[in-house]
Amino acid sequence: METHFSLAALADPDVAQSEKILRACVHCGFCTATCPTFLLTGDELDSPRGRIYLIKDMLENERPADARIARHLDRCLSCLSCMTTCPSSVHYMHLVDHARAHVEKSFARPLGDRLMRGLLALVLARPALFRLSLRGAGLARGLSGLLPGRLRGLVAMAPRTLPEPSTVDRPQVFPAQGARKMRVALLNGCAQTVLDTRINEATVRLLTRLGAEVVVAQGAGCCGALAHHLGKASQSHAFARKNIEAWTREIEAGGLDHIVINTSGCGTSVKDYGFMFRGDAQLAEKAARISAMARDVSEIVAALDFRSTGNAAPLRIAYHSACSLQHGQKITQEPLSLLKAAGFETLSVPEGHICCGSAGSYNLLQPEIATQLRDRKLANIESLAPQVIAAGNLGCMVQIGSGTGIPVVHTVELLDWASGGPKPEALTAAAGA
Amino acid sequence: MAFAPADEQELSQVVAAAAAEARPLRITGSGSKAGIGRPSIGEELSLRALSGVVLYEPEELVLIAGAATPIAGIEALLASHNQHLAFEPMDCGPLLGAGAGQGTVGGLVAVNASGPRRIKAGAARDHVLGFRCVTGRGEIVKSGGRVMKNVTGYDLSKLVAGSFGTLAALTQITLKTLPAPETSQTLVLLGTEEQAGLLALRKVSGAPLEASALALLPKGAAPLDLGENAAAIRLEGPEISVAQRLEDLRGLLKPFGGGVEILGGESSASLWRALRDAEPVASLDGHIWRVSVAPSDGFALVSALKESALPLLGYFYDWAGGLVWLCMADAEDAHAKPLRAAVDRLGGHATLIRASATTRAAVDVFHPQPPALAALSRRVKESFDPAHILERGRLRAEF
Ligand SMILES: Cc1cc2nc3c(=O)[nH]c(=O)nc-3n(C[C@H](O)[C@H](O)[C@H](O)COP(=O)(O)OP(=O)(O)OC[C@H]3O[C@@H](n4cnc5c(N)ncnc54)[C@H](O)[C@@H]3O)c2cc1C
Ligand code: SF4
Ligand code: SF4
């Protein structure tokens, strides 16, 4: 695409980067066909190509964002389906991230929206607050008070009873069973430590059983992705910086082979730290090193010689491929092969490339589109009559689980079960019901 | 050793025994506020058994509860009768990283909790009708009654509120409850200079509008940044009255320019809850100070800090500028000297609210008292707790 940026504008490295991305786009429109929002609204401005035009126009003319641009960019799920489709390798993710930060800086949203987005970034990234906001029942000051109107979607999202905080999520070291094959740091995602503590517990059991020493590093926490997607760059950078520093200390102290992430949304963001800090003289190198070490948990399990002990029942499993895994990190095969190796029957979901609508905090900010996408996803899943739905991302699990009675579990819970761990609680509960 | 007496009788025996041997005791309700004040030394004395609402008579506007009753439960109970604790007690949990919603009613009185509505409704101190306690001598004492007027003797409620457990272990508290307002609306004045926004708040506070909260959130108060300076004014009451006062308020604010937006219902409630719990500074990494000054001096204080070399990471104003929450980059001494010097020049008080235990032991957490007042505090302390066993060191290193 031809661009006309002023030299002055191009002096800004973010703008220069975006210009490069814009130039790569050849307007072919292949991406529109696989974009979930275009599928629903049929409006070109709700497609990747349309958004690219809007962004180009805004950045090129150095214009502040307006309500129209904000609306169409807000509707983008950041599912990155368009990046998988694009024949020309347009890096839509970095483009839309930059555009969102520009919107956040240059456009005054209605005050209620600003407050809600601020509180959302605050609440979701802080386990203690998040726990409180979800602990509605019985407490007048629970969620109904903490969150403004639309955010009460959090309630619908919350499980009926919240688990107690897990001891697994405190900083510590879990030694490997048998000979130590590698030493990894586990990112204990923020919302996950509140909503579903079993995922980290299963991950630690599985990895240590397979011979990895697992470190929960002091000072590491939220990956920053939620704030990042809200366009709150300084906040997301602060979170990322803390993680980079915490893991770097760990690398220097005890050595690390990998950083393991079991929430793929967070994984995509940690793998992008190197890019985020590319212009930061102090952190660029460390950030790039962390990104290079980041792995989805399925990549690590695959590398660790996973073996089934025949422990698990051979259930029919619909594997939902989270966008952040399949489009963001291009991981499609590992989870499926592992589930097969574990003795499960895996079913492939029709329209598997389309987002379930969870997308970080998207389901709270754009509930209408999110619900349509969830129902479409569920219709596709239920057509297979599976016994279990598996996914590698908590956001998807909560979103999909909010509309179906079929139990939804994390891939690692199934792998842990198949190799000697306990049966996932969601399955026990479903069988008992 | 740790003690968890089952009732007031047992508690008095534990305290009397400790007093006889001058063994210090550290009182806990749920432990949610252990991070405030100087770290106290001594064996743990948990009052957790003294929990539960003893009496609630909504028509009489009175509630009696054991000292370790969770505030969250009390607030829920009141809400189900459309009542509330008008002094809007802050929840320190998020600020101290101890988890939210854990505070107990005894702790609330001990720290004399309050929130944005303090400018209109006062602090815990003004809502404690009476209490039962065990003094540092091991005596069971009952003070006050169920009504606000208290003509017989001293009003000890005023003394124990804010005493951080240094005078007595509270066992039971009688609180005044009040009807919750029918509606609550917040007018936000956007985009003025900080000083003008604060001036507007003071003007509102002087006008007959009965604003129940007046705060200013400066631009850049990450992560609750509203994008521009936001002076927030809360009006509460019956719908018609709020609507009328909102009109008057708009008129009053005309000369200040800036944009005006109204937040109602949940949005308004969540804004004030966030400000009450000091959210704009709580999520920053650093030492947190709470400074009381005259409302007209809040801006001068912040300006002085900005001009000095102190590493101010974030701040916001409540109480029309009379309460300034500050976050400063960590330092061993929490920058106590230069900060207190700046505060003293204006005649205020600075309390270090969040810092490591080492720092809290090394610097004065509470503002040093002038000699005459310090002598008085000491005499009060000695009449309640002659052996200095309760919360030794919590308020001041010397007792
Ligand atoms: C035995 C004993 C010893 C104590 N020793 C100390 C001590 O050494 N240092 C200490 O700080 N506390 C001490 N206290 C506690 C003190 O009395 C307070 O109760 C305590 O600081 C609790 O804070 P608060 O919420 O009541 O603060 P607040 O009631 O908010 O007030 C703190 C101070 O700020 C002043 N203030 C409040 N609002 C404003 C305003 N708008 N403008 C100007 N000033 C304002 C108040 O008058 C008060 O002096 C002691 C208490 C006891 C029982
Ligand atoms: S990220 Fe997803 S929603 Fe956004 S433009 Fe690309 S395909 Fe569409
Ligand atoms: S598929 Fe790629 S090149 Fe084609 S329009 Fe979309 S972004 Fe541009």
- The closest ligand to the CA of A370 turns out to be 2
Chain B residues close to A144, C-beta within 8 Å: 266
Q: Kindly state if the Cβ of B367 falls inside 6 Å of ligand 1.
A: yes
Q: Kindly state if the Cβ of A335 falls inside 6 Å of ligand 3.
A: no
- The closest ligand to the CA of A96 turns out to be 2
Q: Is residue A115 part of a domain?
A: no
Query: Do A334 and A423 fall within a single domain?
Result: yes
Longest dimension (CA), chain B: 66
Q: Is residue A393 part of a domain?
A: yes
User: Which residues are CB-contacts of A299 (< 8 A; sequence separation ≥ 6)?
Assistant: A331, A334
Q: Output the domain CATH number for residue A90.
A: 1.10.1060.10
Q: Kindly state if the Cβ of A323 falls inside 6 Å of ligand 2.
A: no
Q: Kindly state if the Cβ of A29 falls inside 6 Å of ligand 3.
A: yes
pLDDT band at A124 (very low <50, low <70, confident <90, very high): low
pLDDT band at A136 (very low <50, low <70, confident <90, very high): very low
- Spell out which chain B residues touch chain A, with contact meaning CB-CB distance below 8 angstroms: 72-73, 75-76, 78-80, 91, 93-94, 97-101, 188, 190, 222-228, 230, 261, 263, 265-267, 269-271, 273-274, 279, 283
Query: Do A425 and A339 fall within a single domain?
Result: yes
The answer to whether the Cβ–Cβ distance between A112 and B263 falls below 8 Å is yes
> Rounded to 5 degrees, what angle do the CA atoms A178, A183, A189 make?
115
CB B8 within 8 A of CB B132: yes
The answer to whether the Cβ–Cβ distance between A122 and B224 falls below 8 Å is yes
Domains of chain B: 2-179 (3.30.465.10), 183-277 (3.30.70.2190), 279-362 (3.30.70.100)
Domain boundary among A302, A333, A350: A302
Chain A residues close to B230, C-beta within 8 Å: 111
Query: Do A361 and A323 fall within a single domain?
Result: yes
The answer to whether the Cβ–Cβ distance between A132 and B101 falls below 8 Å is yes
Query: Do A180 and A295 fall within a single domain?
Result: yes
- The closest ligand to the CA of A75 turns out to be 2
pLDDT per residue as tens digits for the range A291-332: 999 999 999 999 998 988 888 889 999 999 999 999 999 999
Q: A239-251 burial, b for 16+ CB within 10 Å, e for fewer?
A: bbbbbbbbbbebb
pLDDT of res. A316: 95
Among B48, B63, B52, smallest CA distance to B4 is for B48
pLDDT per residue as tens digits for the range B283-334: 788 899 999 999 999 999 999 999 998 999 999 999 999 999 999 998 888 9
Q: Is residue A23 part of a domain?
A: yes
Write the burial class of residue B298 (CB in 10 Å: 0-12 exposed, 13-18 middle, 19+ buried).
buried
Count the domains in chain A. Answer: 4
Query: Do A61 and A146 fall within a single domain?
Result: no
Segments forming the whole domain that contains residue A263: 167-302
State yes or no: pLDDT of A141 exceeds 60: no
Q: Is residue A211 part of a domain?
A: yes
- Nearest by CB to B223, from A111, A122, A149: name it: A122
pLDDT of res. A138: 30
Query: Do A207 and A90 fall within a single domain?
Result: no
Alpha carbon A114 to its chain's center: 23
pLDDT of res. A433: 43
pLDDT per residue as tens digits for the range A175-224: 999 899 999 999 986 677 767 788 989 999 999 999 999 999 988 888 88
Query: Do A324 and A275 fall within a single domain?
Result: no
Reported ipTM = 0.74
State yes or no: pLDDT of A122 exceeds 80: no
Q: What is the CA radius of gyration of chain A?
A: 21
- Give CA–CA dist B393/B399, Å, rounded: 5
Q: Kindly state if the Cβ of A48 falls inside 6 Å of ligand 3.
A: yes
Query: Do A212 and A275 fall within a single domain?
Result: yes
pLDDT band at A391 (very low <50, low <70, confident <90, very high): very high
Minimum mean pLDDT range among A28-32, A38-42, A298-302, B140-144: B140-144
User: Which residue ranges in chain B fall short of pLDDT 50?
Assistant: 148-151
Q: What is the pTM of this model?
A: 0.79
Which DSSP state fits B324?
Answer: E
Distance A265 CA to ligand 3 centre (A): 23
What is the average per-residue pLDDT within A231-256? 90
- Give CA–CA dist A293/A270, Å, rounded: 9
State yes or no: pLDDT of A148 exceeds 70: no
Query: Do A295 and A325 fall within a single domain?
Result: no
What is the average per-residue pLDDT within A256-280? 93
Tokens coding B34 = 């252990």
State yes or no: pLDDT of A163 exceeds 70: no
Chain A residues close to B79, C-beta within 8 Å: 140-141
Query: Do A251 and A202 fall within a single domain?
Result: yes
Q: Is residue A242 part of a domain?
A: yes
pLDDT per residue as tens digits for the range A347-358: 989 999 999 998
Query: Do A171 and A282 fall within a single domain?
Result: yes
Query: Do A28 and A146 fall within a single domain?
Result: no
pLDDT per residue as tens digits for the range A94-105: 999 999 989 988
pLDDT of res. A133: 54
Q: Is residue A1 part of a domain?
A: no
Q: Is residue A411 part of a domain?
A: yes
Q: Output the domain CATH number for residue A402.
A: 3.40.50.11810
Q: Is residue A137 part of a domain?
A: yes
Q: Kindly state if the Cβ of A44 falls inside 6 Å of ligand 3.
A: no
- Give CA–CA dist B277/B94, Å, rounded: 7
CB B264 within 8 A of CB B321: no
